[in-house]
Amino acid sequence: MPTEFAEMAVSNLRDTTNFGWYVIPLFFLVVHLYVEEIQRRNWSVVFAGLAYWGMDWFNEIWNSLVFHFTQYAPVWGVQGNSAYKILIGLNIEISLMFAFIGITTAKTLPADKKMKILGIPNRWFLGLAGSIGCVFIEYFLNAIDVLTWDYSWWSRGSPIPIVLFGYLTFFMVSFWVHDMATTRGKIIAVTSILGFDAACLVIFGGVLGWL
């Protein structure tokens, strides 16, 4: 039987009645950010941002599948007002946010991949710092019940899984794509990530109706 939070999260899934016009300028702000980097031919940053965004979609898909198969709760759910809730743990505002975070974080990477920060390779340091920072924000969102957790192993009392699988994988895949030697390699990596996400959405969502 679904938890109270899960039932609330499902109740307005893909409901357009709460649409807000603020989404349109937010969308074009994100587009503008990517267009600027494309004009500069800064392909490493562009593809790193897309990789980060694609990894979030992967997480959101498996999170929805957890709810489908357990009929108890997703690992995380989103509540509150949203212009459009895409999946049980993802709304349009969150999706735009992740597209923004990915490209912004990539722009902060030192050119020297071997440089260390406090004795830690800079990619790992920035990935861990970014992940921990994001989890602290999630703690606040959870405290006001707009981001809900129903499992003890994914909660304020158990932050390590959230740090590792909720964010660190995003950052490290994004940095890996950023540091690839060739643009062709970046294109293949990002196309693979987004292509897999798209296939899952079509099969599990469009065909099977599990999402």
The candidate with the shortest Cα–Cα distance to 9, out of 93, 80, 83, is 80
Q: How far is residue 164 from each of residues 15, 124, 135, measured CA to CA in Å?
A: 32, 12, 10
Find the mean pLDDT for residues 172-181: 97
Average pLDDT, the chain: 95
pLDDT, tens digit, 9 for 90 and up, residues 76-87: 999 988 999 999
pTM: 0.95
| 129 pLDDT higher than 90 | yes
Q: Which of 14-18, 48-52, 182-186 has the lowest mean pLDDT?
A: 14-18
DSSP 158: B
Q: What is the pLDDT of residue 164?
A: 96
Q: Are 32 and 155 in contact (CB under 8 A)?
A: no
Assign 172 to helix, strand or coil.
helix
Q: What is the pLDDT of residue 54?
A: 98
| Owner of token pair 């946010």 | 97
Find the mean pLDDT for residues 33-47: 96
pLDDT cut 70: percent of the chain above it? 100
pLDDT, tens digit, 9 for 90 and up, residues 108-123: 999 999 899 999 999 9
* Token pair of 66 as six digits: 């957890």
The number of beta carbons lying within 10 Å of the beta carbon of residue 19 is 13
Q: Are 80 and 20 in contact (CB under 8 A)?
A: no
Q: What is the pLDDT of residue 80?
A: 86
Cα gap 48→43, rounded to integer Å: 8
pLDDT, tens digit, 9 for 90 and up, residues 43-64: 999 999 999 999 999 999 999 9
**What ranges do the domains of the chain cover?**
4-207
pLDDT cut 90: percent of the chain above it? 94
